[in-house]
Amino acid sequence: MSSQRPSAWYAVPAFAFFALFAALPMLLVIYLSFTAWDGLGTPALNGGENWSRLLEDSEARASVWRTLVLMVVSWLVQTPIALLIGVWAAGKQRSRAVLSSIFFLPLLLSTAAIALLWQALLEPNFGAFVGGPLFLGDPDIALYTVVLVISWQFIPFHTLLYQGAARAVPASLYEAATIDGASRVSKFRHITLPQLRYTVVTSSVLMLVGSLTTFDTVLILTNGGPGTATRILPLHMYITGFSGFEMGYASTIAVVLVVLGTALSLAVMRWSGFRQMSSQQEGS
Amino acid sequence: MTAVVSACGTSGPGESNAGALKIWALEDPVLNKIENKSIDSFKAGGGNASLETFGNDPYKQRLRVAIGSPQAPDLFFNWGGGNLKEYVDAGKVADLTQVLEENKAAKDAFIPSVLNGAKLGDKYYGVPMRGMQPVLLFFNKKVFTEAGAQPPTTWDELLAVVDTFKAKGITPIALAGTQAWTELMWAEYVLDRVAGPEVFKNIRDKGPEGWKDPAVVESMTKLKDLIDRGAFGSNFASVGYDAGGASTILAQGKAAMHLMGSWEYTNQLDQSPDFVKNGDLGWIAFPSIPGGKGDAGNLVGNVSNFYSATQDSKSLDAAKKFVTTELHKDSYIEALVEAGDVPPVVGAEEKLKKSPNPEYASFIYELVLDSKNFQLSWDQDLPADDATFMLTQLQEFFLGKVSPQQFVDAVAAR
């Protein structure tokens, strides 16, 4: 361990920024979660009323469950696809570069455009699947449709991560394996995948925390509907706060979101051994 | 600036720093122009004002945040009813009763039942500034003629035509079910026809307990029969009104009827002009329900939109002057008529004959004049938290996930 660390004063701007734009608002939200406030006048402290209401709010429970489903299913859908395409795109042939850039297009569209585009495509009377399943109208499949749209939007980003990481795998490892007569599949399993381990962690953290706070796509695409079939926790918070104007209770839900998000990131870090991260290359 | 102050004789000497009257309204490409003209006219009379407009949801949020702050507008657009009541209860809205009494010409210009839309207790808190928007049953005349059917005037006739169209593979009633307020129109009319307006007035005035009136379950059961009969087809839950879904299937003859606010006419004219110009768009009042207590002439919808003045406004006198001079001026009313709106003023019959759609405008006008009760949409008439909860329950009800009794239990337990 080197003792030549920069002075702690260098951290002051960052800390000030964090205090002003993260810590302070968070403290305010925690305060608001103990108040009744309809947005008019001043918030009035109401003890733990919002919190006991949260425990009894079946809609909040259901929306936590939907959020978890969304999170897990979109991880399951996005990770293998992004991994495979990313590794494939790391190759050097010309066609790959062209195909990859076409593939990145969704990443360039704004979320609102994507949501409106899919809403139009899935419209039951005039969309692209007339007479097919009611993708956004059937409460049993609407949430999975949302997952597909979100995946379509974000797989390119994760592909980019995997592509970069796959390119950084030393060619010598593959050359050695080729001499030993390893097949493509076993090279992927025994070289590529282990080398990409930390990229998987990074991408997963981004995906999981990202799904937890997914909001805009769902707001525009379904607004939580049909009924409450896609009302995930952030949307439940938004509807409570900005349609029902129950700002106090909405703040309570916001605190839950912060806690869930933090716990999730910490858990992923811990399980994946991210904190002991070090280079796996020989000699370092 | 000096010109403004010196010309503004009604404002006191302390008013020297009062800037332009800040007016907030909902965005509408056609009506905003007219509203801007009313501001020009106000300026010509020595006042000064400016208009800022917002989309629907952003507006509600912006107003909520701004109203107690120095950024608050002096005059703000609203829907009257419970929506306005929250602001009145918080002490944010100026009482306009006295100024309306002093300006009889202004007060008497408006249809009393509409002016009452912004009356809380015995005080007036707003002045109508846009047209009346009752909810009507629109239908496709061509589709009805081809099926040999008549537009329904009673509930039983409605059920019969639903079966007729279903058998022909036409969606009987278009419904934009991604937006709960379209479904709400059905619940409002059925309850009103079954039990009259008092049941909902009770809910509004005495709180959620009012939902327990047996008439609510009765009317929701009737509505459930209609849904289960397939009246709305099977895919309504993913049809959007703003996206034009419901209106388009009506215009294309894929659906036979559509219950919607009076703005549907201009909407159709805009999106499917031929459908309207060929005379295929028909409209009637909501069918009566035989045996029901509600008068068949009762209406639901947006009574009108109102301008209300903020209590803390620095230009309160100017705001009061604006609402008592500009909103019933002939030029303003005529401009509204010309844009296809039906202004809420008495004696507009002659003006409406010059409207671009005289037949339609006169129909709405007569309908409102003849109605014994004009119920403001429930989601505007209830406090925002109760309304939001109710709309969610209603969507679950239309999906068949919640029974009439469960709906009542849920909203009564709020």
**In this predicted model, what pLDDT tens digit does every residue of A163-199 receive, in sequence order?**
999 999 998 999 999 999 889 899 999 999 999 988 9
CB contact under 8 A, B385 and A120: no
Q: Which residues contact B171 (CB under 8 A, 6 or more apart)?
A: B165, B232, B233, B249, B254, B255, B256
CB contact under 8 A, B65 and A136: no
Which of B238, B384, B387 lies at the smallest CB-CB distance from A124? B238
DSSP per residue over A156-176, as a string?
Answer: HHHHHHHHHHHHTS-HHHHHH
What per-residue confidence (pLDDT) applies to B249? 95
Q: Using alpha carbons, list the distances in angstroms from residue A264 to A71, A127, A206, A261, B39.
A: 11, 38, 11, 5, 55
Q: Which of A40, A135, A141, A145 to mutate to test the interface with B (most CBs of B within 10 A)?
A: A40
Q: Which of B59, B83, B183, B238 to mutate to test the interface with A (most CBs of A within 10 A)?
A: B238
Give the total residue count for chain B. 414
Res A2 pLDDT > 60: no
Distance in angstroms (rounded) separating the CA atoms of residues B329 and B323: 10
Provide the number of CB pairs (under 8 Å) joining chain A to chain B. Answer: 94
DSSP H or E run through B220? helix B214-228
Q: What is the DSSP letter of A212?
A: H
What per-residue confidence (pLDDT) applies to B393? 96
A28-81 pLDDT, tens digit per residue, is 999 999 999 988 888 999 989 999 999 999 999 999 999 999 999 999 999 999
Which of B177, B239, B388 lies at the smallest CB-CB distance from A239? B388
Which of A124, A139, A242 lies at the smallest CB-CB distance from B61? A242
Nearest CA in chain A to B394: A227
CB contact under 8 A, A138 and B239: no
Is residue B394 within 8 A of residue B180, CB to CB? The reply is yes
Strand, helix or coil for residue A82: helix
DSSP per residue over A90-155, as a string?
Answer: TS--HHHHHHHHHHTHHHHS-HHHHHHHHHHHT-TTTSTTTTS--TTT-TTTHHHHHHHHHHHHHH
* A131 to chain B, closest Cα gap in Å: 10
With contacts defined as CB-CB under 8 Å, which chain B residues touch A36? none
**Mean of all residue pLDDT scores within chain A:** 89
CB contact under 8 A, A125 and B235: yes
pLDDT in tens, chain B (414 residues): 333 333 333 333 333 345 789 999 999 888 999 999 999 999 999 999 999 999 988 899 899 989 888 889 999 999 998 889 999 999 999 999 999 999 999 999 999 989 999 999 899 999 999 999 999 999 999 999 999 999 999 999 999 999 999 999 999 999 999 999 999 999 999 999 999 999 999 999 899 999 999 999 999 999 999 999 999 999 999 999 988 889 999 999 999 999 999 999 989 998 999 999 999 999 999 999 999 999 999 999 999 999 999 999 999 999 999 999 999 999 999 999 998 899 999 999 999 998 989 999 999 999 999 999 999 999 999 999 999 999 999 999 999 999 999 999 999 998
β-bridge pairing B306-309 and B281-284: unpaired
What per-residue confidence (pLDDT) applies to A40? 85
B399–A contact, CB cutoff 8 A: yes
Strand, helix or coil for residue B174: strand
Residue pointed to by tokens 């904190």: A275
Which of B64, B254, B388 lies at the smallest CB-CB distance from A125? B254
CB contact under 8 A, B389 and A242: no
Distance in angstroms (rounded) separating the CA atoms of residues B353 and B356: 8
B68–A contact, CB cutoff 8 A: yes
What per-residue confidence (pLDDT) applies to A6? 81
What per-residue confidence (pLDDT) applies to A284? 35
Q: Which residues contact B95 (CB under 8 A, 6 or more apart)?
A: B123, B124, B125
With contacts defined as CB-CB under 8 Å, which chain A residues touch B251? none
- What is the CATH code of the structural domain delimited by A58-276? 1.10.3720.10
B413–A contact, CB cutoff 8 A: no
Residue pointed to by tokens 């999730």: A264
B84 CB-contact burial (10 Å; exposed 0-12 / middle 13-18 / buried 19+): buried
B249–A contact, CB cutoff 8 A: yes
Q: Which residues of A, range 5-64, sit inside 8 Å of B by Cβ?
A: 38-41, 59
Which of B64, B235, B389 lies at the smallest CB-CB distance from A40? B64
Nearest CA in chain A to B237: A137
- Listed by start position, the domains of chain A span 58-276
CB contact under 8 A, A119 and B64: no
Which of B92, B179, B238 lies at the smallest CB-CB distance from A122? B238
* A122 to chain B, closest Cα gap in Å: 9
Its pTM stands at 0.89
* B238 to chain A, closest Cα gap in Å: 4
Q: Which of A37, A116, A125 to mutate to test the interface with B (most CBs of B within 10 A)?
A: A125
Distance in angstroms (rounded) separating the CA atoms of residues B291 and B414: 31
- HSE (CB half, 13 Å, CA atoms) of A105? 6
Span of A218-232, A269-283, B25-39, B92-106 with lowest mean pLDDT: A269-283
CB contact under 8 A, A123 and B68: no
Supply angle C-alpha B321, B324, B325, rounded to 5: 80
Q: Using alpha carbons, list the distances in angstroms from residue A254 to A248, A257, B364, B377.
A: 10, 5, 46, 31
Q: What is the DSSP letter of B93?
A: B
B218–A contact, CB cutoff 8 A: no
With contacts defined as CB-CB under 8 Å, which chain B residues touch A119? 240, 243
Nearest CA in chain B to A249: B385
A179–B contact, CB cutoff 8 A: no
Nearest CA in chain A to B91: A41
A122–B contact, CB cutoff 8 A: yes
Both tokens assigned to B250 = 């009506």
Which of B339, B365, B372 is CA-nearest to residue B350? B365
Distance in angstroms (rounded) separating the CA atoms of residues A181 and B210: 80
Query: Both ends of chain A: CA-CA distance in Å?
Result: 15
Which of A136, A243, A244 lies at the smallest CB-CB distance from B238? A136
Distance in angstroms (rounded) separating the CA atoms of residues A219 and A66: 14
* A41 to chain B, closest Cα gap in Å: 7
With contacts defined as CB-CB under 8 Å, which chain B residues touch A222? 178
What per-residue confidence (pLDDT) applies to A276? 56
Which of B32, B34, B25 is CA-nearest to residue B335? B34
Residue pointed to by tokens 């107690």: B68
CB contact under 8 A, B399 and A242: no
CB contact under 8 A, B384 and A126: no
Q: Which residues of B, range 296-335, sit inside 8 Å of A by Cβ?
A: none
With contacts defined as CB-CB under 8 Å, which chain B residues touch A248? none
Q: Where residue A282 falls among pLDDT bands split at 50, 70, 90? A: very low
What per-residue confidence (pLDDT) applies to B17? 40
Residue A96 CA, distance from chain mean position: 27
Phi, psi (rounded to 5 degrees) for B72: -60, 145
CB contact under 8 A, A223 and B178: yes
Q: Where residue A99 falls among pLDDT bands split at 50, 70, 90? A: confident
3-state secondary structure B236-268: HHHCCCCCCHHHHHHHCCCEEEEEEECCHHHHH
B132–A contact, CB cutoff 8 A: no
Distance in angstroms (rounded) separating the CA atoms of residues B10 and B309: 17
Q: Where residue A131 falls among pLDDT bands split at 50, 70, 90? A: confident
DSSP H or E run through B30? helix B29-44
What per-residue confidence (pLDDT) applies to B1? 34
DSSP H or E run through A83? helix A58-89
Q: What is the DSSP letter of B293?
A: S
Q: Using alpha carbons, list the distances in angstroms from residue A69 to A73, A74, A119, A225.
A: 6, 8, 21, 16
Nearest CA in chain B to A53: B414
* B202 to chain A, closest Cα gap in Å: 21
CB contact under 8 A, B392 and A39: no
Phi, psi (rounded to 5 degrees) for B119: -100, 125
